Structure 1
């Protein structure tokens, strides 16, 4: 049984294979660093292409979005009404009440932040980047450096 592949198909298969192997090793490294292990226990790949690929792929895979959050435009229930509802049946000591109030204010601030982040994300247009575009961007970046 003879299999005939075009050069383009073979290039795509090779690229997919390289990218898949890179992502596998990268995940192993990240998992080993998240586990709280010592520096000696962090996974070190011995794959020939990892260091080279990581040199130009790491900035793309490490990329994280940052958001500017405006919590002043959000409307939430008044603090007084919330505190009145909590303290109506509460017979705790004053220190416990203060701690609960501070916890409530922290949770409220976190909720405002989360809502704003979700709003910012939902307002952004979604851009799908396929592997070929990503690969081309990386190649272009490397050739510019050369």
Structure 2
């Protein structure tokens, strides 16, 4: 089966519309109207870019990178906009194109928090109360180790 850029780009393009809808309907906490407007404009431009790219970007790798980049917020964040986005992915039959990765499972599997973004995510998820006792215990341990390591660097 050969790669057809146009057909693959058409499969990904609706994702941008779902991102825009999620941000418009449920703006992330703390976002200003400028943040919202910028994100909407950016996603409209990205959609146009993948549908009509320069020749050198008409590759499977380019589409994969773009898809990973645009989904980053929805893979590593929480909130009404994230929940709404994933509901819309399911309802619009895009589950085959967009797979949700649970970053907390990734943290638990590797046994540590690697950076500030993972730390922020872990502390947010910990407060939500969606983890079982074992997961919560491990996550608390990883958060504490990360914070101790961070304090050690500052001293």
TM-score by length of 1: 0.24
Larger radius of gyration: 1
TM-score by length of 2: 0.23
The structure whose residues are more often helix, as a share, is 2
